[in-house]
Amino acid sequence: MKIAENYSLKKLNTFGIEVKARYFAEIREDEKLINLLDNPAWQTRKMLILAGGSNILFTRDFDGLVIKVSTRGIAIAEETAAHVLVNAQAGENWNGLVNWCVGRNLGGLENLSLIPGNVGAAPVQNIGAYGVEQKDSFECLQALEIATRKQVKFNKADCDFGYRSSIFKKELKNKFVILNVTYRLDKNPVVQINYGELKKEIQSRNIKEPGITEVADAVCRIRNSKLPDPEKTGNAGSFFKNPLVTEEKFLELRKLYPDIPGYPSENRLIKVAAGWMIDRLGWKGFRHGDAGVCETQALVLVNYGNASGYEILGIANDIKKSVKESFDVELEPEVNII
Ligand SMILES: Cc1cc2nc3c(=O)[nH]c(=O)nc-3n(C[C@H](O)[C@H](O)[C@H](O)COP(=O)(O)OP(=O)(O)OC[C@H]3O[C@@H](n4cnc5c(N)ncnc54)[C@H](O)[C@@H]3O)c2cc1C
């Protein structure tokens, strides 16, 4: 197996940050990964599993081994009268999997069209968009325990999925490599178009009975119109999660800011729009050197060219502080800071 040294990660993270990995390996077969992890030379080294690099902010060179998982393959694992179980390898492009399903009229993932990144990372933060999360179609995954090199199957209940969170972001952070993921897709799809923006987009086109292709197309149109393209401007999508506050706290905020958006969420908590608070504090369009806040989306931090991860993190910390001071609300990054 080829191990590169002092390898540039600039093209492997969507922020486009220039950092180097002390060691770097790209894996195209699960066996190669097991062999690599079996080698005692790597067992004492720091390790980072990298997929599409669209949810990572590198703040410094990585003094260890970066393993990029590039295994490919999508296959039907099982079929019943109502469902198809589709298994995809971790290195498959997420949107490629969504298109594969939509093209076969298998419903469930269409609202998650165009989310950057790979299949293996999707359960890590339980990706979600337009009223749907990957957990809604998730069946199970296979993962390799780094310490023991044992393969373990995780069913939905084992993953502790929550809002942009799972067991792989908490107790099992950096302990497993996800090898493949299986989704349960619907052969008779029922579309989910209750999310305001999506509903509006479909109505504006006068589509009376949308199928999953129309939903996927509408999601793509909305995303293309509002999110900066990482190919043009480095970013990792929403930098912060929308914070969850108690009903009492939300009522307090509403008294002070009658138009603050909030949505009922898990455990009787209210999800407050982080972007609204950041925008209200005047951060939208802020720029310091090449690091800044997107001009159209206050929740998205951007690299206009040669910003360092440290500079972007500096702006993130300043935003966090100003939201805390003004709203007494704690922001938590959605992006993994390395
Ligand atoms: C423009 C833009 C829009 C976005 N929109 C959304 C959105 O709508 N909804 C949403 O939820 N997210 C969104 N994101 C964030 C991002 O696309 C997702 O979090 C995505 O799942 C990250 O995938 P990735 O392959 O790039 O993972 P990476 O960034 O490479 O990795 C993310 C984390 O997962 C870990 N990881 C990756 N692969 C594995 C594996 N095989 N096994 C174990 N751990 C692994 C990594 O170590 C890291 O901690 C957006 C990002 C961008 C740039």
- Residue 248's contacts (CB-CB under 8 Å, 6 or more residues apart) are none
Taking the C-alpha atoms of residue 295 and residue 212, their distance in angstroms, rounded to an integer, is 31
Per-10-residue mean pLDDT of the chain, 338 residues long, equals: 94 97 96 92 91 97 97 97 97 98 97 98 96 97 95 98 95 96 97 91 90 96 92 96 96 95 90 96 96 95 96 98 97 96
Residue 131, both tokens: 């009223």
Q: Respond yes or no: is residue 334 known to be catalytic.
A: yes
Domain topology for 234-337: 3.90.78
> 111 in ligand 1 pocket by Cβ < 6 Å?
no
Residue 251, both tokens: 């009522």
CB 102 within 8 A of CB 110: yes
pLDDT of residue 78: 96
**Identified catalytic residue from 26, 137, 164, 311:** 164
Q: Atom 34 in ligand 1: which residue has the minimum CA distance?
A: 121
Q: Angle, to 10 degrees, between the axis of helix 94-103 and the axis of helix 212-226?
A: 150
User: Domain segments of the chain: what residues?
Assistant: 4-69, 74-186, 234-337
Domain 74-186, CATH class in plain words: alpha beta
Helix, strand, or coil (residue 128):
strand
Q: Respond yes or no: is residue 8 known to be catalytic.
A: no
> 336 in ligand 1 pocket by Cβ < 6 Å?
yes
What phi and psi, each to the nearest 5 degrees, are found at residue 179? -95, -45
* Cα 326 to ligand 1 centre (Å): 30
Of all helices (H) and strands (E), which one includes residue 325? helix 309-327
**Identified catalytic residue from 137, 166, 238, 308:** 238
**Cβ atoms within 10 Å of 173's Cβ, excluding its own:** 12
Question: CATH code for 4-69?
Answer: 3.30.43.10
Q: What is this structure's pTM? A: 0.95
> 129 in ligand 1 pocket by Cβ < 6 Å?
yes
pLDDT of residue 34: 93
